[in-house]
């Protein structure tokens, strides 16, 4: 991955991919949000990508959940460059000691996406007998997510599904 594009640095994205074992994906949004840029471990990005392309009834609540938190590594932009810039900027705003495979941020992202997957796996709003479980919005900021974990010992929103 080229770490710069016309003077714009993507050092955090590049480090997470090349040194921390994260996966990076970009895709065109089916619903005209532009281009997605996403980072994750294992199948996390696949889960978000697939749900972002699902039918309206399934996509809307899933993406409301994803967009409820400004600390998740999933963004959209009008172009791929803009989406990557937004993702890099989002990473810049997080505590840098947390931006690693073993950091609390990674753990919180994993739990949030796992909850989304558990709530929607094999379920659809189009199937009245097998609808997805409801998920509360995630804490809006990383600081609030950390505070919630410190107070409760868990990420409350990310455990509502299971």
The 10s digit of each residue's pLDDT in 52-90 is 998 887 888 899 999 999 999 999 999 999 999 999 999
- Please provide the distance, in angstroms rounded to a whole number, between the alpha carbons at the two ends of the chain: 37
| pTM of the shown model | 0.84
Domain ranges across the chain: 4-159
The 10s digit of each residue's pLDDT in 38-52 is 999 989 999 999 999
Query: With contact defined as beta carbons under 8 Å apart, do 160 and 115 qualify?
Result: yes
Q: Which of 125-146 are b and which e, b meaning 16 or more Cβ less than 10 Å from the residue's Cβ?
A: beeeeeebeebeebbeebeebb
Q: Which residues, 6+ apart, have CB-to-CB distance to 95 below 8 Å? A: 105, 142
Query: With contact defined as beta carbons under 8 Å apart, do 25 and 18 qualify?
Result: no
- Distance, in Å, from the CA atom of 50 to the CA atom of 29, rounded to the nearest integer, reads 10
pLDDT average, residue stretch 81-106:
96
Which pair of structure tokens corresponds to residue 29? 């949004």
Q: What is the CA radius of gyration of the chain?
A: 16
């Amino acid at each position: 991955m080229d770490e710069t594009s016309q003077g714009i640095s993507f050092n955090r994205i590049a480090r997470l991919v090349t040194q921390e074992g994260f996966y990076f994906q970009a895709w065109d949004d089916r619903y005209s949000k532009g281009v997605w840029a996403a980072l994750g471990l294992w199948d996390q990005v696949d889960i978000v990508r697939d749900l972002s392309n699902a039918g309206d009834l399934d996509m809307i609540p899933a993406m409301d959940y994803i967009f409820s938190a400004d600390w998740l590594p999933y963004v959209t932009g009008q172009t791929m460059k803009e989406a990557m810039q937004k993702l890099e900027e989002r990473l810049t705003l997080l505590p840098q000691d947390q931006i690693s495979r073993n950091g609390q941020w990674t753990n919180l992202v994993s739990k949030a996406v796992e909850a989304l997957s558990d709530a929607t796996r094999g379920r659809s709003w189009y199937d009245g007998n097998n609808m997805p479980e409801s998920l509360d919005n995630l804490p809006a900021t990383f600081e609030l997510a950390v505070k919630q974990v410190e107070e409760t010992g868990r990420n409350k929103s990310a455990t509502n599904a299971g």
